[in-house]
Structure 1
Amino acid sequence: MALEDRYGLPISTSSPEAASAYREGVDLMLAGWTGTAETLERATAADPDFALAHIARARLHGFYQQGDLARQKAALARELVATRGTERERSHVETLALAIEGRLPEAIAATMKHVEAWPRDALVLSLPLGAFGLFAFSGMADHDRARQELCERVAHDYGEDWWFLTMYGWAMTENGNVGRGRGVTERGFELRRQNAHAVHAVLHAMFEDGSIEAADRLVDDWIPSYDRAGILHGHIRWHQALGALEHGDAARALAIYADVLQPKATQAPPLNLVTDGASLLWRLSAYGHAVPRALWVEADATAQRLFPKSSLPFADIHMALFAAATQNREALVARLTAIEQRLANGKLPAGPVVPAVCRALAAFADEDYAACVQMLAPVLDEVVRLGGSHAQRELIEDTFVVALMRSGDLPRARALLDARLHRRPSLRDTRWRAAMG
């Protein structure tokens, strides 16, 4: 009898031990849980020729920016699946390998073709989903809508699956359907409590609907069950720090930074390490709270090692935060030059918004608020092309609001805050609005 994955798809291994470890390892990956690497390695130890286990392990290496190891395992999986694999498995390996290699347009095309044929191949379906998925980092202006529509197309294939409900609900939330999205995500969370992606998605819904105290309680109640080495541990606490800032509690936000986000404390993947740290310190400073320069310098040194060259626009924007905050003009000029070159060569799908935001952040740090406003105003509607979540991208709009206030353009600041408060409750925006009269 053929062995299958949890979604009923045949897998080419004759080892029940390998199949069991693979099923468990994929579930751990889809839940963002610790033990994923060790479990997948048990699968490859039980069957060294099991291509799907190798490509899953390669994907995990990719999360942690271990590029050489990821590509090596992807190459091995390609070799193995060519001689022992079904058509579905060959497509699965190739699609994940393209994503690992950073070949985004090809990976998106392969994903869509694969999902059309095998909608219940969850690991492939996961590629375009989430704030750091293929859609978000494609430069698309409508990636939030695209994720929801993709989930809607396959919803009948998954039913009450805990992983799918988590991602489907989050896609709704990011696309503006917050109430429904929260309900669907919470249903997935109840089906599997040991699911960091579900907690994360619920926190996004709570951010959007203004449930700051409930979000804080959720993290306090749930986080003791999640190891600090978990891929989302630091980021979930980052959300809690944003809640502290809603209350104007800079001391608590800085305490969370020191506990789990500071380079010497965090175990997060490189992209989360850089983006969570930079964005929290920038928000603290932009909101008028004191940030010790030593924190910026330490975090910048780590970030420069991890992202020395222009790469993902989302990473580049956060590297610009570091360069602006530390007044490292040489680093900013070098990165902007590389970004402009990629734009000129047609290799920057996110487009002109990337250099424009980088320059605006530098102007803000130089306290040239009028210039910051002038640079950001034309591209605010394009910020979505940078990727990430709405909560993460709101940093750019917050910078714009503060620049408006500090440059004396109170009518525009009031209008923008009124629009934001109409969209969702915010203690911080309410305070800002009240201060302007």
Structure 2
Amino acid sequence: MAHLDSRGLPISTRSDAAAALYRDGVALLLSAWPGAAETLDAAIAADPEFGLARAARARMHAIRGEGAAARAAIETAGALVARDGTARERGHVGVVALAVTGRSADALDAAYAHLDAWPRDVLVMALPLGAFGLLAFSGMSGHDQARVDLVERHAHHFADDDWWFLSSRGWAHAENGAVRRGRDLAQRGFELRRENANGAHALSHAMFEDGDGDGAEALIAGWLPGYDRSGILHGHIAWHAALSALERGDAQGALGIYAAHVRPSASLGLPLNVVTDAVSLLWRLKAYGHEVPAGLWEEARAYASGTFARAGFSFADAHMGILAAATGDEAAAAARIADLTALVEAGTLAAGPVVPAICRAALAFAAEDFAGCARLLEPVAAEVVRIGGSGAQREMIEDTLLVALMRGGEAAKARTLLDRRLHRRPSPRDARWHGLLASA
């Protein structure tokens, strides 16, 4: 009898144990839950010829930034499915190979083609989705809508109780502005599988976009203690709670969460999350007029010095430029801006001119040249979405523009920007700012 994956697709292994371990390992991978790597290793040990298990393991290596191991695993997977795999398995491994070896644009095209034939191939479906997926980091301005288009195109292939698809579909809709629908979907997915960090993450985002910071904090406070600190999203989900605390004016509460879960010395998350979460929370504190305790910026800079040194990854570049500005490292900021400008001129930076513009604006903001910061950010504000990530993460850039307009004497422009945002996402902080503007 042929073995099947969790969505009913045949998998080429003769081992009952390997098949069961693969299904469990994929579920752990899709839920960002500890134990995925070890479970997939056990599947490979049960059947060393199991190509799909090796491909999933390659994906785990890539998520962890273990490039050499990812390339070795996917090369072995490719050889195995070329010899004994089905057409679906060969296509699956081919898409994963493009993704883990850095050929992101090709991987996105290949994923779309593959999903037209095998829409329930969830590890391939997962690649374009999420805040750090192939669509988010494609540089396109319409990646939020593209995610919705993808999940809706294939929604009829998934069961009503597919926890992973519900969470992914909910996140896509909430990020694209259909917040209530997205929240309802994410809530259903989370209730079906609570041991699912991606589900908790999707629901936290939907609550943030719905203006329900209190609900997000309560959700995270009740759920996070059951998620081991080794989970790759532990620190990032705590960052959401810190962000909600800061939104309601509790800077000390936000700093307490930061110290316990988010700062580089506390987090075991992915380097991209550790750097960007630290930079964005500390920069928000600065922008909102709170004092950043001594040593926190320096800790973030020390951690980041070993990561993302090379320009070309737009989401990281924006945060590294802000970090350099916040710590007064004008030389590092100038060097990154020069490298980014060269990439823009060469046509090889997918997100385009908005990235060096953000870095220049951060330098102006740090120097308290608020009018100059606003002049740099206003023309590219609509293009910030191209750097990827989520709306909650990118809102830091909009906050910078808003504060620059307020402090630079442009109250009318600040009021217009704030009105648009309150219509999109109500926030207690924005309401307080409206009061300040009313008296300006």
Q: TM-score range by the shorter chain?
A: over 0.9
C-alpha distance in structure 2 between counterparts of 1:50 and 1:330, whole Å: 50
Question: Match of 1:296?
Answer: 297
Q: Are residues 1:256 and 2:261 paired?
A: no
Q: Percent identity?
A: 57
C-alpha distance in structure 1 between counterparts of 2:51 and 2:224, whole Å: 34
| Post-superposition offset of 1:185 | 1.0
With normalisation by structure 1, the TM-score equals: 0.99
Q: Are residues 1:372 and 2:373 paired?
A: yes
> Could you list the per-position Cα deviations for residues 101-148 of structure 1 after superposition, in whole angstroms to 9, with x for gaps in the alignment?
111110011000000000000000000001100000001110000100
C-alpha distance in structure 1 between counterparts of 2:35 and 2:267, whole Å: 18
C-alpha distance in structure 2 between counterparts of 1:356 and 1:5, whole Å: 46
Question: Match of 1:333?
Answer: 334
**C-alpha contact 2:312 2:349 (8 A) present in aligned 1:** no
C-alpha distance in structure 2 between counterparts of 1:345 and 1:419, whole Å: 35
| Unaligned runs of at least 5 residues, structure 1 | none
Question: Match of 2:309?
Answer: 308
| Post-superposition offset of 1:430 | 0.6
Question: Match of 2:108?
Answer: 108
Question: Match of 2:137?
Answer: 137
C-alpha distance in structure 1 between counterparts of 2:343 and 2:55, whole Å: 30
3-state SS of the aligned residue for 1:306?
A: coil
C-alpha distance in structure 2 between counterparts of 1:212 and 1:325, whole Å: 27
Question: Match of 2:31?
Answer: 31
Counterparts of 1:239-254 in structure 2 under 5 Å?
239-254=240-255
3-state SS of the aligned residue for 2:4?
A: coil
Question: Larger deviation: 99-108 or 373-382?
Answer: 99-108
With normalisation by structure 2, the TM-score equals: 0.98
C-alpha distance in structure 2 between counterparts of 1:163 and 1:295, whole Å: 36
Question: Match of 2:98?
Answer: 98
C-alpha distance in structure 2 between counterparts of 1:113 and 1:423, whole Å: 34
Counterparts of 1:266-305 in structure 2 under 5 Å?
266-305=267-306
| Post-superposition offset of 1:364 | 0.6
> Could you list the per-position Cα deviations for residues 86-111 of structure 1 after superposition, in whole angstroms to 9, with x for gaps in the alignment?
11111101101111111111001100
3-state SS of the aligned residue for 2:336?
A: helix
RMSD value over aligned CA atoms? Answer: 0.9
> Could you list the per-position Cα deviations for residues 238-267 of structure 1 after superposition, in whole angstroms to 9, with x for gaps in the alignment?
000011111111111111111111111110
| Post-superposition offset of 1:424 | 2.0
Aligned residues: 437
3-state SS of the aligned residue for 1:305?
A: coil
C-alpha distance in structure 1 between counterparts of 2:362 and 2:304, whole Å: 17
C-alpha distance in structure 1 between counterparts of 2:33 and 2:340, whole Å: 35
Q: Are residues 1:80 and 2:83 paired?
A: no
Counterparts of 1:30-429 in structure 2 under 5 Å?
30-160=30-160, 161-429=162-430
C-alpha distance in structure 2 between counterparts of 1:301 and 1:432, whole Å: 34
| Post-superposition offset of 1:293 | 4.1
> Could you list the per-position Cα deviations for residues 362-396 of structure 1 after superposition, in whole angstroms to 9, with x for gaps in the alignment?
11111111110000000000011000001110000
Question: Match of 2:432?
Answer: 431
Amino acid at match of 2:308: F
| Post-superposition offset of 1:425 | 1.3
3-state SS of the aligned residue for 2:305?
A: helix
Moved over 4 A (4+): none
Question: Larger deviation: 290-299 or 158-167?
Answer: 290-299
C-alpha distance in structure 1 between counterparts of 2:18 and 2:290, whole Å: 53
| Post-superposition offset of 1:159 | 2.2
C-alpha distance in structure 2 between counterparts of 1:330 and 1:336, whole Å: 10
Amino acid at match of 1:155: A
